[in-house]
Amino acid sequence: MPTLTLEDFASSFGTSVDDIRQTCLDLIRNKNFDYIIIAGRQRDKLITDILKKIDSDRQIIGAASRRQVWDNGWKENLDDFINSGFDLKKLVPKFIRPNQPLRYNQKYIRAVNPNFEFDFFSIFRQWLFKKYFSDSKNIYEFGCGTGFNLVALAQLYPDRNLYGTDFVTASVALVNRIAKVYRLKLKGSIFDMINPDETFRLKKSSLIFTIGAIEQLAGKFESFLQYLLRNGPDLCVHVEPTLELYDENNLADYLAIMFHRKRGYTQGFLPRLQELEKNREIEIIKVKRLYFGSLFLEGYNLIIWRPVDNGAQSKR
């Protein structure tokens, strides 16, 4: 039975085996990453189910009704967090579902470990935070949801100033409750990425990141990009589904493209960054497809960039 190795994680993240060994070895050792490749009739049945889901799906990303859906969802996490006696495990977003078929290296797989996706993401997140976040005094997550990424950051860097923003009140209430209960240097604020609040200014020596937040803007990311260019963070890190990284001649990829477009998730973000780099407004540091994701799409692609200091940013 195949299993993910240090070499597999290094290849997925676009780094060296030594880097993975130094940052994530203990986490990898303590988890089961055995899996089987779904093939034959099981694969045919799975593809049929995916096609039926794509055909019947009626969710429209960015629709006005989605605001209430997100508020209700994060309110559920908030209630679970409080009622459990502030158990941090209750912060895991409910869209990370156990016991689901996954995609890896353009194939469908079934994992032995029911929490394979969450464990993979946790290792990727730890590597990402240790690799790129260590030099920043002020770290902002836009579209922070339950705040569980910020909690992981606070555990790694308890001395840093952490800020979580979201466009719904339940998320902000949850982040601020976490900060109060665990005495973290963390503050939650309302912020709409489609209509940025210009009075919300980034501090010096700042890093911003998004994880599955740009995807929810339904392509309306330009105002947020311009906001970032005006505020001039040191680094911008995005972990997002990225339509342009798929191979449309691969069946699993093409089904992900179909689902991405049917839902209306953001597309064009990476080409826009490449255009800004061509215009010498930004520098793209890294673009890496992880070749890993949930049943319907790959949500963990990595894009890292920074504004070019050309004197155009607003003074802070």
Give 309's pLDDT tier (boundaries 50, 70, 90). confident
Q: Looking at the predicted structure, is the pLDDT value of residue 314 above 50?
A: no
Residue 84 lies in a domain: no
**Span 182-187, average pLDDT:** 98
Q: Looking at the predicted structure, is the pLDDT value of residue 272 above 70?
A: yes
Residue 266 lies in a domain: yes
The 10s digit of each residue's pLDDT in 9-59 is: 999 999 999 999 999 999 999 999 999 999 999 999 999 999 999 999 998
The 10s digit of each residue's pLDDT in 87-146 is: 999 999 878 888 899 999 999 999 999 999 999 999 999 999 999 999 999 999 999 999
**pLDDT score at 95:** 81
Residue 155 lies in a domain: no
- Lowest-pLDDT choice from 8-12, 59-63, 185-189, 271-275: 59-63
**pLDDT score at 310:** 57
Q: Are 169 and 146 in contact (CB under 8 A)?
A: no
Residue 149 lies in a domain: no
Q: What is the pTM of this model?
A: 0.95
Supply the range of the domain harboring residue 10.
6-60+92-143+191-307
Residue 198 lies in a domain: yes
The 10s digit of each residue's pLDDT in 155-184 is: 999 999 999 999 999 999 999 999 999 999
**pLDDT score at 67:** 87
Residue 71 lies in a domain: no
Question: How much is the mean pLDDT over the chain?
Answer: 95
Q: Looking at the predicted structure, is the pLDDT value of residue 300 above 50?
A: yes
Q: Which two tokens stand for residue 302?
A: 């990595």
Q: Looking at the predicted structure, is the pLDDT value of residue 244 above 70?
A: yes
The 10s digit of each residue's pLDDT in 195-211 is: 999 999 999 999 999 99
Residue 225 lies in a domain: yes
Percentage of residues in the chain having pLDDT higher than 90: 91
Residue 255 lies in a domain: yes
Count of domains observed in the chain: 1
- Lowest-pLDDT choice from 1-15, 274-288, 299-313: 299-313
